[in-house]
Structure 1
Amino acid sequence: MTIKADLFFSFRSPYSYLAVGRYRDMAREYDLDITLRTVLPIAVRDPDLLFTGNPAAPRYIFMDSFRSAQMLKIPFRWPRPDPIVQDIATRDIAKDQPYIFRICRLGQATTRRGRGLEFAAEVARIIWDGSTDNWHEGDHLAGAATRAGLDFTELEAEAASDADALDAEIAGNTKALEEAGHWGVPTLVVDGEPFFGQDRVDMAKWRMEQKGLVKR
């Protein structure tokens, strides 16, 4: 029996990056179908919540994401450019956001094709692993789409022509995440049970094994 799960994911989240490749590898090895559910980063989804958080949080996230990557032996560097245009020191968010809406719409378009997990894993790598500057330019995203088995020209056209519908689907993902009992990413939801964080990958696998998860 194929186990089905939803992965709520943000292209701006370092923890999403640290989790998505491991979930993709798990889905390749096991009889597991994971649907990627792209959500907007909290910086644009609910900035009021971001600003009411503890001011120590950004420093901790920086420190913890770097050491988590080191422990997992996953290449890591803060993106250049950051998918969210924001002054990290003041936490001020720019009104103009040229990157995040584009990449989220592309992500949702790939979910429509059943290849969201593969696309997110490839794109997260070029954004976060430190091997690429200006990940949004040139053929970087096209290469990621190709590696995920997708036609980038087709994706770009759909992201532009069907933006409103894609945005509505992304908003629906946020609502589904909240209905599953969480608000953060990455969160894997299996039979209504949420597993939040890159440090819950093994626990999620353990639970799915209880439900009959087996290798392909």
Structure 2
Amino acid sequence: MSLSFDVFWSFRSPYSYLVTKRLVRLVEEWDVTAVIRPVRPLAVRTPDHFVRMDPLWRPYLFLDTKRTADYLGLPFARPRPDPIIQDPQTNVIAAEQPYIQNLTHLGIAACRMGRGLAYIDHVGSMLWDGTVVGWDQGDHLARAAAAAGLDHDRLQAMVDDDRDGCEAELQANEAALRAAGHWGVPTFVFEGEPFFGQDHLDVLLWRLRRHGTARRSSGEAVDG
């Protein structure tokens, strides 16, 4: 019995990157569809969140994300440049966010093309695996899109031609995330039940199996 679940995911979230390879494998191995729903990072959705947070939060985040990457055997480095514009001392978020806004709209366009999971996999790796400096320059985005089976220029044209539609879809994704009962990413939602965090992917699979999902016989992935 084929089942589907929503994936709320952000290009600036290290934990979103850290779960994606396992998410790809899950969809390859099990008869399920991951419906990718890109959202902006919490720093942009709720700008005062990081101003109010405990000062211990950021150093622990740096420690835990590197440790988790090491545990999973994944290369890891923070994107250069940061996809959001934020004062590193005060954590104040800039009013204009051209990097993350366009990246997220590109993700929405990729989902419209039926290649959302492949796109977040390859673009997420390009941002976070430490192999690229200046991801916003040159052909880095184009090469990542090509690896996902997409043409970057076509995606960008889709975004430029329907910026309002992409923004409406983005806001609908963010509203759906909260309606499902959470605010963070990555969050997986199956039949209204949220599973927050990269460490809950196995719990999601447990729930899917209890609802009858089975292993694929062909190993062919279904994108979303």
Common topology (TM > 0.5): yes
Q: In structure 1, how many angstroms separate the alpha carbons of the residues matched to 2:51 and 2:39?
A: 19
Q: 44-53 or 117-126, which moves further after superposition?
A: 44-53
Match of 1:108 in 2: 108
- Deviation readout 1:126-145 (Å, 9 max, x if unpaired): 00000111112211111111
Deviation at 1:79, TM superposition (A): 1.0
Deviation at 1:66, TM superposition (A): 0.7
Point out 4+ residue stretches in structure 1 off by more than 3 angstroms.
none
Q: Is the 8 A contact 1:109 1:159 kept in 2?
A: yes
Match of 2:189 in 1: 189
Q: Is the 8 A contact 2:47 2:92 kept in 1?
A: no
Q: In structure 1, how many angstroms separate the alpha carbons of the residues matched to 2:32 and 2:141?
A: 26
Match of 1:159 in 2: 159
Deviation at 1:49, TM superposition (A): 2.7
- Deviation readout 1:30-62 (Å, 9 max, x if unpaired): 211001111111111110233222222111111
Q: In structure 1, how many angstroms separate the alpha carbons of the residues matched to 2:96 and 2:170?
A: 19
Structure 2: give runs of 5+ residues left out of the alignment: 217-224
Number of positions where the alignment pairs a residue of Structure 1 with one of Structure 2: 216
Q: In structure 1, how many angstroms separate the alpha carbons of the residues matched to 2:162 and 2:93?
A: 26
Match of 1:72 in 2: 72
Deviation at 1:89, TM superposition (A): 2.8
Deviation at 1:105, TM superposition (A): 0.4
State the secondary structure of the residue aligned to 1:99. helix
Q: Is the 8 A contact 1:35 1:114 kept in 2?
A: no
Match of 2:132 in 1: 132
Amino acid at match of 1:48: D
Q: In structure 1, how many angstroms separate the alpha carbons of the residues matched to 2:106 and 2:19?
A: 19
What value does the CA root-mean-square deviation take over the aligned residues?
A: 1.2
Structure 1: give runs of 5+ residues left out of the alignment: none
Q: 196-205 or 93-102, which moves further after superposition?
A: 93-102
Match of 2:63 in 1: 63
Length-normalised TM-score, structure 1 = 0.96
Q: Is the 8 A contact 2:38 2:108 kept in 1?
A: yes
Amino acid at match of 1:89: Q
Deviation at 1:7, TM superposition (A): 0.3
